[in-house]
Amino acid sequence: MNAPVAFPHLEVKGLTKRFGGLVAVKDIGLSVKSGEILGLIGPNGSGKSTVMKLIMGIERPDAGSVRIKGVEVAGWPSHRIARLGAGMVFQHSRPLYRQTVLENITLALLPDKLLRLFPDPAIEARARTIAERVGLSHALARRPSTLPFADLRKMEIAKAIARDPQVLLVDEPFAGLTSKETAAFSELITELRDDGRAVLLVDHNVKSVAVLVDRVFAMYVGERIAEGTAEEVMRDETVRRVYLGGRIETAARPESSFGDATPFLEVEKVNVFYGKAQALENVSIHVHHGEFVSVVGLNGAGKTSLFNAISGLTPYAGEIWREGRPLRGLSPAAIARGGIAQCPESRELFGEMTVRENLDLGGQHLEQAEREEQANWLFNLFPILAQRQGQMAGTLSGGEQQMLTIARALMMKPDLLILDEPTLGLAPVILEQISKALERLRQTTPITVLLGEQNVTFALPHADRVYVLEHARIVWEGDPNRFAAEAETGYL
């Protein structure tokens, strides 16, 4: 056994990456020693995945240094970084579907040479050893498409460790796995660390990686906000504020105050699969006429899948009713025309059209006068849009685009407005403006709202009722006032 190395296997200093005007990663510095697991955590859009891509050479840093085993690799192409001794376990990858699992692992062991024309039995033997190590011996001759999801992840780990990298990057190791599978994976990653590797785990929250990591590095909108043991980071004030917000004033109306016999929307035991990964598992929720319901959950919990199922955009098992009538069988367009308007996470504005044209498209089915009136009401709700009427939607700031997305959906005069992560990537001051608009909407109109959020501070104040979605399942339902006491610890 080698003695532990004195210098860190992975050392990052002053790392910065800009995408256009957006600073995705700002002056990040971290180091991972041999035999250590560092958890890099942050909410959606915090830049943690970009940091990993910068280390692996998939993206090129604008500034800063990345040292692997003491060698400066910033700006290198990823194949050179890989050969120096870094490996990455991808969350989503496209394996070779026509080849067997063994061939897929063999691939990762091949030298990067053009004249390797004959297979080498020694390489194949080594691939078998690696497969055994990750627990895939039973599936060597199968094709990836026939494997269960957990085995596919094992194959990805096998590929990443094939060249025996001293620095191992793992992207969301437990996404889509059951708790039993998660335990097996934790054990495997711990073993890999105990071999003397430096391991960097990227995930959304501390909780999911707490048992595994030696240290945690927390990021928010591209910057470092905390660093330390899992307990220290969970206690950190900034981290708590980012994930949970400060003290939250709620104004929930009791569920009994909605006197409808049949709720406006009922989702019953809905299951959604993407290939082998289960995005929703027996999810049941209901929304009353005029109610404001928030579904909170981290990125990947299944919020978007739930909304897409309701809007008819994704196939599902189970039932979804609108005012007692099933929505199944209706096209997405029919569901939208019927008054269920979704504001997608990705906004989907017409960037080459003006603000006004975007709004008019939303209100196409309205009479001229009615459209005018609705637009004026919306300009009242979002005054900034009135000033921007003639501007191209693509040139608006992120916050203005989000307001326009909501306004365009409201032009349809929907009965139910579905908002999917409206806060994504927005600065706190903008959140406040959108938050105020939602409050006015709630108080002055009979509209029903279903909001999906990972930002609890934003999701709770308006909500009458809250659902917590975690790993494809609803794990909590209740009054927002009880959220802090009952669900908060599980969320961080």
Partner 1 sequence: MSPGSLFVARVLSSRTVWISLAVVLAASTLPLYVSGYILGLLTVAYYFGVFSMAWDLLFGFANEVNFGPTFLIGLGAYTAGILDSLYQPPIAICIVAGAMAAVVGGVVLALPALRVRGPYFGLTTLVAVLILQNFVVVAAGLTGGEIGLTVPDVISIDDKVNYWIALGFMTASGAILFGLARSPVGLILQASGQDAVQAGALGFNVVKHKLAAFITSAFFSGLAGALLMFYLTSATPGTFVDVTIGVQVIIGAVLGGRRTILGAAIGAVFLIAMGETLRPLGDLATFIVSAIALVVVLLFPSGLLGLLTRTREAA
Q: Near partner 1 by CB under 8 A, which window of 67-75, 128-136, 159-167, 427-435?
A: 159-167
Q: Near partner 1 by CB under 8 A, which window of 52-60, 312-320, 342-350, 484-492?
A: 52-60
Distance CA(343)–CA(405), nearest Å, equals: 6
Least distance from C-beta 87 to partner 1, angstroms?
7
Task: Tell me the residue type at 385.
Answer: L
Task: Please give the order of strands across the beta sheet that includes 36-41.
Answer: 86-89, 167-171, 198-203, 36-41, 215-220, 223-228
Nearest in space to 467 (alpha carbons), one of 457, 449, 452:
452
Q: Which two tokens stand for residue 372?
A: 């005018």
Please report whether residue 60 would count as binding partner 1 according to CB under 8 A. no
Please report whether residue 119 would count as binding partner 1 according to CB under 8 A. yes
Please report whether residue 96 would count as binding partner 1 according to CB under 8 A. yes
Taking CB under 8 A as the criterion, the residue among 28, 38, 56, 189 binding partner 1 is: 56
DSSP string, 400-423: HHHHHHHHHHHHT--SEEEEE-TT
Task: Tell me the residue type at 365.
Answer: H
Taking CB under 8 A as the criterion, the residue among 2, 21, 98, 443 binding partner 1 is: 98
Taking CB under 8 A as the criterion, the residue among 3, 6, 114, 261 binding partner 1 is: 114
- Between 1 and 115, CB nearer to partner 1: 115
Phi/psi at 381 (5° precision): -70, -40
Q: Which two tokens stand for residue 414?
A: 């929907």
Cα 22 → chain centroid: 19
| DSSP state at residue 363 | T
Q: Which two tokens stand for residue 217?
A: 């590095």
Taking CB under 8 A as the criterion, the residue among 1, 3, 6, 117 binding partner 1 is: 117
Distance CA(37)–CA(219), nearest Å, equals: 17
Q: Which two tokens stand for residue 239?
A: 């981290």
Least distance from C-beta 157 to partner 1, angstroms?
13
Distance CA(76)–CA(111), nearest Å, equals: 19
Taking CB under 8 A as the criterion, the residue among 16, 65, 78, 397 binding partner 1 is: 78
Size of the residue set binding partner 1 (CB under 8 A) = 36
Distance CA(49)–CA(59), nearest Å, equals: 10
Taking CB under 8 A as the criterion, the residue among 16, 93, 284, 354 binding partner 1 is: 93
DSSP string, 114-155: TT--S--HHHHHHHHHHHHHHT-GGGTTS-GGGS-HHHHHHH
Taking CB under 8 A as the criterion, the residue among 116, 235, 269, 440 binding partner 1 is: 116
- Between 79 and 436, CB nearer to partner 1: 79
Q: Near partner 1 by CB under 8 A, which window of 39-47, 113-121, 224-232, 272-280?
A: 113-121
Q: Near partner 1 by CB under 8 A, which window of 84-92, 237-245, 443-451, 468-476?
A: 84-92
Q: If you count DSSP H runs as helices and E runs as strands, how many of each does the chain have, helices first?
A: 19, 20
Distance CA(179)–CA(177), nearest Å, equals: 7
Task: Please give the order of strands across the beta sheet that includes 340-343.
Answer: 340-343, 416-420, 448-453, 292-296, 465-470, 473-478
- Between 112 and 249, CB nearer to partner 1: 112
- Between 98 and 180, CB nearer to partner 1: 98
Please report whether residue 251 would count as binding partner 1 according to CB under 8 A. no
Q: Near partner 1 by CB under 8 A, which window of 34-42, 106-114, 189-197, 285-293?
A: 106-114
Taking CB under 8 A as the criterion, the residue among 15, 39, 42, 103 binding partner 1 is: 103
- Between 155 and 336, CB nearer to partner 1: 155
- Between 108 and 150, CB nearer to partner 1: 108
Please report whether residue 107 would count as binding partner 1 according to CB under 8 A. yes
Q: Near partner 1 by CB under 8 A, which window of 95-103, 236-244, 285-293, 316-324?
A: 95-103
Q: Near partner 1 by CB under 8 A, which window of 96-104, 331-339, 361-369, 397-405?
A: 96-104
Taking CB under 8 A as the criterion, the residue among 2, 21, 112, 247 binding partner 1 is: 112
Handedness of CA 222, 227, 230, 233 (dihedral sign): negative
Binding site for partner 1 (CB under 8 A): 56-58, 77-79, 82-83, 87-88, 90, 93-96, 98-99, 103, 106-108, 110, 112-121, 159-160, 162-163
